[in-house]
Amino acid sequence: MLIDPTYTHLSVNQQCGLLGLARSTYYYQPVGESAQNLALMERIDKLFMARPELGVERMCQELTNSEQPVNVKRVRRLMRLMGLEAVGPKPNLSKPHPGHTIYPYLLRGVVIERPNQVWSTDITYVPMANGFLYLCAIIDWFSRFILSWRLSNTLLADFCVDALEESLSKWGKPEIFNTDQGSQFTSHDFLKPLIGNEIRISMDSKGRALDNIFIERFWRTIKHEHLYLTAYADGRSLHQGLGTYFQFYNQERKHQSLGYQTPAEWYERGKESGKVQLLPPLPASLI
């Protein structure tokens, strides 16, 4: 805190003057989203999970009715706040984000046959009773094992970097790490530990949600099985609840695609043998 209200030699007004700040800036308290907007954001999230091809205008049409008209500008602002962008072809796809390095997608046609062959990560919006947070998780493609996760109240890269560093310290390192082209994952802070550990970096093509299919499937699972059913009051209870769910998901929830074994069992079996019975390959339409 640059301003100390207990400092007896200078008043708050004088301290603000020295810093070149208006006194009102010191007293300002940020205002969160209204209950109406939070309810609308939850509706947007549920619609987007079911139909990720919906852009702002089509999303607005789906949300609007005669009793509750919804403004396009409002939907656009909320979708940006939630970090949602419609899946679909985009113009100028070959142009990288200024100042950020974009890596090619390395997983087309690759057979996933062992743990720590491919990890990937993503961020999703998490609603609460009074507000929202962002969730980042890292998943092992072979076993669907969730290696680490973090919550944040902003979309800065730091919580993604924390999740990555925890995964590397606890589980070793993957051969390939896949992300989308979000600013968090193209940032220097996030790429540095990958490059330093000589991990090959893969990035989804823009508008290709299925390039990161396993984490997208996981978001659907955790939202429909847990988050949409539980209105957490605050970040602390959300963190505790997610910790319990991740333990259940990794250690107890059996997956049909894993021969009705848990991700933890499949991950450990693969590490012990180096290679286990191959998972069914993804359909060509999803590659």
Tens-digit pLDDT profile for residues 122-142 = 999 999 988 899 999 999 999
pLDDT of res. 195:
96
Closest to 214 measured CA to CA, from 139, 279, 147, 275: 139
Distance, in Å, from the CA atom of 89 to the CA atom of 151, rounded to the nearest integer, reads 30
Condensed to tens digits (0 to 9), the pLDDT of residues 154-192 reads 999 999 999 999 999 999 999 999 998 888 999 999 999
Q: Report the top-level CATH class of 118-281.
A: alpha beta
pLDDT of res. 163:
97
Closest to 25 measured CA to CA, from 58, 3, 50: 3
pLDDT of res. 283:
44
Distance, in Å, from the CA atom of 8 to the CA atom of 188, rounded to the nearest integer, reads 43
Closest to 185 measured CA to CA, from 165, 221, 214, 156: 156
pLDDT of res. 176:
96
- Kindly report the pTM of this predicted structure: 0.77
pLDDT of res. 18:
74
Residue type, 281: P
4 Rama class: left (phi>0) / alpha (psi -120 to 50) / beta = beta
pLDDT of res. 98:
59
- 228: tokens are 């949409």
Residue type, 55: G
Distance, in Å, from the CA atom of 203 to the CA atom of 211, rounded to the nearest integer, reads 8
Name 179's bridge partners.
203
| Neighbouring C-beta atoms of residue 83, cutoff 10 Å | 14
In a 13 Å sphere around the CA of 238, the CA atoms on its Cβ side amount to 25
Parse the chain into domains and list their residue ranges. Answer: 1-30, 35-82, 118-281
Write out the DSSP string of 202-266: EEPPTT-GGGGHHHHHHHHHHHHHTGGG----SHHHHHHHHHHHHHHHHHT--BGGGTSB-HHHH
Dmax (CA) for the chain in angstroms is 73
Q: For the chain, list residues with pLDDT below 70.
A: 1-2, 23-31, 66, 88-100, 206-211, 273-287
pLDDT of res. 246:
97
* Contact partners, residue 153, CB within 8 Å, separation at least 6: 133, 134, 235
